[in-house]
Amino acid sequence: MNQPNFFIVGAPKCGTTALSDYLSEHPNVYISAPKEPRFFAEYFQLPNIKTWDQYLSLFQNAEGKLAIGEASVHYLCSSTAIEKIYQYKPDAKIIAMLRNPIDLVYSYHSQLFFNQDEVEVDFEKAWRLQDARERGENLPPLAENPKALQYRMIGQLGSQVENLLSFFKPQQVKIILFDDFKTSTQSIYEEVLSFLNVPSDHRSHFPRINANKKYKVAWLALLTDRTPKVVLDGVKIAKQAVGVKSFGIANAVRQINNQEYQRPPLSPHFRSELIKEFQEEIDKLEKILNRDLSHWRK
């Protein structure tokens, strides 16, 4: 049975979707569908991917591919996922994509709000709800996983990379900074192919993927993305009656209802607070990467 030999382990909002999409189009690379099965993460598992058979079935069509992988962005912040991956595949290759943790958590909050896992539109207010939410208070009604609302945990990149390197040898790990990926996409892509021992496909076109978005009409998003079971059952019966797999209505509505959105900058006071919060994590990354990250503290 085909099995994954590389993992993109995170972090969220650091370019993992774009990289996995580019890699999936390479003739010698296979990325699971969904690209983010979350199988090894204790808090973030999908309901239909919980057994080994279910997980390995995601790679059944990878025959003949040199690199077989998946990209679950919460593996890096998980307290158990990296160790579980090591126990399963100690010779695996690991890709970790990182960015300034302040920008990361702000962008991540926007994504959660778009997904309707977060109801507090103001990030500073959402940040200050973390302790209450850890106690089970003030949780959004549609939040799939309250742990995902712990923004502080998501941004502790230095500690997460330390944990990663405590299991996997440095030569098995490729760390990519989002800034580099954004400004030198083709170069980083070629580096990843080399890391995975896959020949270049000479790709030169890298379209923007997973830009920050918002809904034009919030209640319409609830209908398409959080469709009530009674409606889903009715649609299923209708599709069976006319003999089609999909009407395509939901996807059409999503495309019309979504629009790219430029977030306003954080207030100087709150950004300064977050810099102090993540100072130690940035220091750790500087030592691990042997790279000056002082611009992250500005």
Q: Indicate whether 223 and 90 sit together in one domain.
A: no
Q: Is residue 274 part of a domain?
A: no
Q: What is the pLDDT of residue 209?
A: 84
| Segment holding 173, helix H or strand E | strand 173-177
| Segment holding 252, helix H or strand E | helix 249-257
- Residues 111, 113, 118, 121: is their CA dihedral positive or negative? positive
CA distance to 3, 4, 153, 206, per residue, from 88 (Å): 10, 10, 25, 33
Q: Indicate whether 243 and 164 sit together in one domain.
A: no
Q: Is residue 38 part of a domain?
A: yes
Contact call for residues 104 and 154 (beta carbons, < 8 A): yes
Q: What is the pLDDT of residue 256?
A: 52
Q: For the chain, what is the domain count?
A: 2
Q: What spatial distance separates the first Cα and last Cα of the chain, rounded to whole Å? A: 49
Q: Is residue 77 part of a domain?
A: yes
Q: What is the pLDDT of residue 263?
A: 86
Residue 268: is the preceding peptide bond cis (ω within 30°)? no
Q: What is the pLDDT of residue 261?
A: 67
> And the tokens for 155?
């941004």
Q: Indicate whether 200 and 248 sit together in one domain.
A: no
Domain containing residue 35: 6-104+153-210+282-297
Question: For residue range 161-197, what is the model confidence (pLDDT) as tens digits?
Answer: 999 999 999 999 999 999 999 999 999 999 999 999 9
Strand duo 213-215 + 173-177: pairing: unpaired
Residues in the chain where the model's pLDDT stays below 50: 213-217, 219-227, 229-232, 235, 239, 247, 250, 253-254, 257
Question: For residue range 42-82, what is the model confidence (pLDDT) as tens digits?
Answer: 888 888 899 999 999 999 999 999 999 999 999 999 999 99
Contact call for residues 55 and 49 (beta carbons, < 8 A): yes
Q: What is the pLDDT of residue 236?
A: 52
